[in-house]
């Protein structure tokens, strides 16, 4: 089944404790992206990647890191999480453009 897999689904952590949210897609998509979703603000792009070893900042990259060492994986790293990073995070992928994004099931992150 074609899908984007994110883990974990829920995560509660404390300020400053490094964490990684994993994202993997099995559709051989070149484009992958991370979004955060907050009430009243919609989906905002954090980082995106057009291909392996190619990443770029989205609209809200501060406090986040990404890497794209393999085509299928695009982890999101929070080196020192803060409470304002409490949010619902989505990973998404598409064939090459952004015409049709396939979203993962989301990660609800709470930073205490």
Partner 1 sequence: QKEVEQNSGPLSVPEGAIASLNCTYSDRGSQSFFWYRQYSGKSPELIMFIYSNGDKEDGRFTAQLNKASQYVSLLIRDSQPSDSATYLCAGQGGKLIFGQGTELSVKP
Site map for partner 1, 5-34, x if CB under 8 A?
A: ------------------------------
Instruction: Compare residues 62 and 99 and give the one whose CB is closer to partner 1.
Output: 99
Q: Is residue 99 at the binding interface for partner 1, with CB under 8 A as the rule?
A: yes
Q: Is residue 106 at the binding interface for partner 1, with CB under 8 A as the rule?
A: yes
Least gap, CB of 75 to partner 1 (angstroms) = 18
* Contact criterion met (CB below 8 Å) for 68 and 97: no
Residues 83, 17: Cα–Cα separation, whole Å: 11
Instruction: Compare residues 46 and 82 and give the one whose CB is closer to partner 1.
Output: 46
Q: In Å, how far from its chain's centre is CA 39?
A: 18
Q: Is residue 72 at the binding interface for partner 1, with CB under 8 A as the rule?
A: no
Q: Among 68, 104, 109, 111, indicate the residue that binds partner 1 (CB under 8 A).
A: 104
Residues 67, 73: Cα–Cα separation, whole Å: 8
E-strand spans in 1-112?
4-7, 10-13, 19-25, 31-38, 42-51, 54-57, 65-66, 76-78, 87-94, 102-103, 107-111
Binding site for partner 1 (CB under 8 A): 35, 40-45, 58, 90, 98-101, 103-106
């Amino acid at each position: 089944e074609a899908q984007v897999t994110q883990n974990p689904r829920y995560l509660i952590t404390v300020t400053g404790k490094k964490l990684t949210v994993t994202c993997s897609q099995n559709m051989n998509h070149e484009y992958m992206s991370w979004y955060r979703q907050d009430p009243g603000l919609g989906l905002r792009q954090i980082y995106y990647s057009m291909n392996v070893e190619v990443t770029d900042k989205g609209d809200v990259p501060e406090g986040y890191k990404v890497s794209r060492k393999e085509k299928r994986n695009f982890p999101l790293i929070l080196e020192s999480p803060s409470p304002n990073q409490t949010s619902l995070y989505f990973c998404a992928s598409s064939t090459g453009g952004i015409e049709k994004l396939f979203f993962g099931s989301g990660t609800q992150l709470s930073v205490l």
